[in-house]
Amino acid sequence: MSTTPNTPESATHTTSGTNDSKVRPGSASSTPSAAGKHPAPPCTLVIFGAGGDLTKRLLMPALYNLSVDGLLDAGMKIIGVNHGQRETAAWRDDLKKSLQQFAADKASTFHTAQFDEKAWDWIAQRLEYMAGEFETDDTFTNLKQRIDAKPGSNVIFYLAVSARFFKPISEHLGKAGLLKEGDGGGFRRLVIEKPFGTDLASARDLNAHILGYAKESQIYRIDHFLGKDTVQSILAVRFANALFEPLWRREYLDHVQITASETIGVEGRGKFYEQTGAFRDMVPNHLFQLLGMVAMEPPNSFDAEAVRDKKADLFDAIQPLTRADVVFGQYETGPAGPGYREEPDVAADSHTETYAAARVFVDNWRWAGVPFYLRTGKRMAARRTEIAVHLKTVPFRLFRDTAVDTLTPNVLTLRIDPTHGTSFDFNVKVPGPMMQIGPVQSAFNYSDFFAEGANVGYETLLYDCMLGDETLFQRADSIETSWAAVENVLHPKDGPLPVHGYPAGNAGPEESDQLLARDGRTWRPLSPAREKK
């Protein structure tokens, strides 16, 4: 996670709609880069799964944006490996067509007013397609011949493939000598997408297997949630402001709510979802990562290991979840459309959860007794990713003889998606002769202060991987402690957890509300007027 000194001008400066201030990459030499940043070193990026959705929707848009910002070196080369014969020109044309479609889609995170042909051409000139099976020796022999093997050369292997290929690709890379770092100073790095295992045993097995061919320092376990600027800004809000950090503890905080809700369904991914479910897909990785950012102890620096050590300590302190801490749900036919069981490739009697809520306790000095409520789901009332930090209520005695009957809880909300910013709910006196208290909100939107460009969340992660900055990538111990915390839920000894229905387009099952109600709390509404069940 690269850091740049801030200046007073940075909060008010905006750029014109034409983006004339952007420096375009050149084709023969290093080019000026985004203010305060340096281009990544030259490297070869090998993408396994070059024809897949991840490459089209996220990796290529991210590389394009890095190209626009001048953060890629002129010596970069991109090799795409995939099943089936294909000409490089056809692959390039297919990628460009996809990029242009995403750029024109206002709902896309890659939406931009103007597609930069020069930036794309810079990328396109460096693309090379290679046909090959992921589990045969010939593929890796051919790949080795195409990679610049001179001393000091840098290579990143990106596994944008199904999890079943993580082991064989890593093994073949290792046996072919492609992960060996020479004495010339060049690096070899392996980027692995989630899911990193499906439980504790499989995560340990995958870690052990990959570590048989690569060092821990070479492995970059990626979670795209951590690539979002607003997720990274959690650390800035906490540690760069004297107002918040003194209150960030059990003496002042009542509880924390972390929400990642979607309005879409499984979108044709029925086969994947039937095997995974919302809990495995989101809780031990995405939501725990947000929990780690909001609850970790202050590191001594933003050095990668300093930050990852504190997150590892936090995950290790999570009390193992029990069935009493978790609620599963599945969307049924409702205002937003058909139910999950009507989706393609989903069993007619499926009990796979599309919603999961969990109550998490962190057993350390700072957080003892403070519950963290996590929820995620599909086909819900609103699309929202946010962290709501609820302060404890003040004593009511002062207002007992006034017209005040309720006080609005003080809540600091960190909005991550789809809007970016923060808000704070608090109480003030209503104008007039009587002591009446009214709720108000102070809000900050990133778009009011900063020029926000198209960003799919992978730009920072790819850039940091090229630089060798592991801050935003997960370490083996953190992966395993996260899975250990949910082991009792994934493999319950007293039978599977019940899955409760909720109408598509709703806020989740009633049992999720009851999870908080037992503690005397309620979920923050997903929309101003919460849908009735």
Distance between CA 292 and CA 472 in Å, rounded?
11
Rg (CA), the chain: 24
Among the residues of 125-165, which ranges form H helices? 137-146
Distance between CA 372 and CA 254 in Å, rounded?
9
> Are residues 341 and 347 in contact, defined by beta-carbon separation less than 8 angstroms?
yes
- Which residues touch 197 (CB under 8 Å, ≥6 apart)? 203, 204, 205, 206, 207, 479, 483
> Are residues 379 and 300 in contact, defined by beta-carbon separation less than 8 angstroms?
no
**Residue length, the chain?**
533
- Of 526, 1, 478, 473, the closest CA to residue 233 belongs to 1
Distance between CA 171 and CA 185 in Å, rounded?
23
Clarify whether 286 is annotated catalytic: yes
Distance between CA 479 and CA 61 in Å, rounded?
28
The pair of structure tokens assigned to 20 is 């004339």
| DSSP per residue, 244-278 | TGGG-STTTEEEEEEEEE-SS--TT-HHHHHHHHH
Q: How far does CA 173 lie from the centroid of its chain?
A: 27
DSSP type of residue 317: T
Bridge partners of 358, per DSSP, are 326, 374
Q: Which residue is it, tokens 């001393």? A: 151
The pair of structure tokens assigned to 181 is 């770092």
Among the residues of 105-165, which ranges form H helices? 117-124, 137-146
Task: Pick the catalytic residue from 172, 286, 390, 500.
Answer: 286
Helix axes 88-104, 117-124, angle to 10 degrees: 150
Q: CA-based angle 21:456:219, to the nearest 5?
A: 110
Distance between CA 505 and CA 263 in Å, rounded?
7
Strands 155-159 and 44-48: parallel
- Which residues touch 486 (CB under 8 Å, ≥6 apart)? 279, 283, 284, 320, 321
DSSP type of residue 51: T
The pair of structure tokens assigned to 331 is 């969307």
> Are residues 153 and 186 in contact, defined by beta-carbon separation less than 8 angstroms?
yes
Backbone angles phi, psi at 19, to 5 degrees: 55, 35
Query: Active-site residues: which are they?
Result: 286
